Structure 1
Amino acid sequence: MTDTGLRPLNHVVAICGGSEADRGLLAAAAGFAERNGARLTLLSVIEPPAEAKAAARAAGVSLDVALERLAEERRAHIRSFLPRDLDPRIEIRTGRRFVEVVQFAIAEQADFVLKTAEPLAGLQRFLFSSTDHHLLRKCPCPVWLLQPDASTTQRRIVAAVDVDTQGAEEPGTLSGLNRSVLDAALRIASGPDTTVDALHAWDAAGEDLIRRWSDDPHAQAAAQDYAATAQNRRAGALGDLVDEAAARAAASGLTAPRVLPRLERGGARRIIPEWLGKVEAETLVIGTVARTGVLGVIIGNTSEDILNSVACSVVAVKPPGFVSPIAPLPSSAGTPSR
């Protein structure tokens, strides 16, 4: 795996809501696509209100004509706040937002989807909206949800990995997911001035069990040896993971950021949010925990809890072999604007 390089990025899709609040998103998406030599598409989805058909009838036009007019208005509005030197493809779709985005990503072989994160209304702390959670769970490519006030440059990124493959149900899938998480972090980095923390939260549950169950007077030493062995094994695996990522970046000709292995003892639900705050990270890159090839795969409980407790931008990465529960459209289908 070390000499094959990073998977190329060919197509970046940014989800526009059609307002000037997307200016930061567009700047980030344009810079990201340019750094990675990818083409950029702006996708905006119009969700028709329930009374759209009745309103169109009252206006004396068909629903199709009314929606087409809405699409052209949206397209013109998006173009009105694009920088002069930016001329991306603009796609307007009609339907349920997360469904249209996922189907578009599948049909267009998107390598990355970017979107401004939407908070749930009326809450004191930030929680991702229903649309965002659907995308995090169901979009097959990495999804980058940027906070509304996010910087266009990434100076500190935390890539959460789990190198404890011994207890994994699918060790190969977990190893592939770890690689994908680090590769995504390398891709979103702004350059050599960026630091990526490859963070692994580890523990040795058997340490306490040895103390409690053993009648040996040397149980304390045995428990400490057990924990030290576990720590050393994880440290070695994490170091190998970081070295392999650096080799892939070099093979791709990427001006790589500094990647630091970070081994912290404790549960991931506590360690990851604490570390994000400690280093003031702009973005967390995290993998979803799932079996491969199963329809309806959802984010694992730990990842879900972490995503609901962070205040930074988030990149969610799927494991190799992930199958979206949203069926792709036939090649002739879809609801694009004309």
Structure 2
Amino acid sequence: MAAQQKALLLLSKGAPFTLGTRAIPKPGPGQVLVKIESAAVNPVDYYVEQAGFFVDAYPFVAGSDAAGTVDVLGEGVTGLQKGDRVLFQSVFTADRGTFQQYALADATRAAKLPKSLSFDEASTVPLGLATAALGIYGPIGPRGGAALTSPWAPGGLGKYKDQPALVVGGSSSVGQFAIQLLKLSGFNSIISTASAKNVDYVKAAGATHVIDYHTTPYPSLPAAVAGITSLPVPLVYDAISSEDSQKAAWAILAPRGNLVVTLQPSAAVGKPGEEGEDGKRVAHVFGNVNAPVNTAFGDGLYAALTGLLESGELKPNKVELLAGGLASLAKGTERVGKREVSAAKLVAHPQETA
């Protein structure tokens, strides 16, 4: 095996991505080295590049999502073998970033792929699913979740039968997975916002009603939801998390309900992890299963993930393939950061880098 690999590097804060080389890392105890076949782009990659978010040291390797084959086993790994096809989420260190040809992953949070799932499809899953799942089912805390019982936990499948829920931004990667998880939990109606062109995509994920945010702006959203269901709405997942979307979501939320946000909570809503007016609560999710506070949750999710994907109960995002290997991820990250991508996940093949 070669000692060096191609990688997309960040050399300093605010510097553009630069194609270069770095050493192939060696797995420690409980880790595996994965040869990355497909890597996906997320908005956080743009913030890592532009503002140095989560960077521990330069040069740095961004990228949170990948799928590939297990190449080397670390000490004590029992659940995986060399050659296994897996998907995994990174944590913010250069050896684990996915914008390179090889990266490290924790074996307990690397899920085997069913035969029906391609590397490209699998690479769309990790961060979006983690953010959705931790927001809905993660424990309460300053960067926690709504603490509902997950559908892979005993008694969790269908537990919230026929309770309505709202997902703001249902065509986003996080929104797609939030809808699918809510369906597994039994929620009905599942109402979502999206543009008219993405209605079918959002309904395929499990939404029962779709509100066009172009014709129904956020101040009008509470009335639109009330026109769909007269029942109190105990959960709103706001995958957009703008000031206006949060205000609307808070107004819709039932007493003692949970609002999940992916960005900084607005001053107009409650303080994360604490009860606000009418017992309402805001969950400001940190969607990484490898964060120390989330590893136990992540182990449970990843233990169930292969089966959920194999059964079709969880489906990947739609893929837009980028040509040119790692080099294509620089432009792809810019497109995602500037919100130029809709209802698709940008994916590149690191092994095809020239």
Specify if TM > 0.5: no
Return the structure number with greater helix share: 1
TM-score, normalising length: structure 1: 0.30
Return the structure number with greater strand share: 2
Higher relative contact order (CA 8 A, sep 6+): 1
TM-score, normalising length: structure 2: 0.29
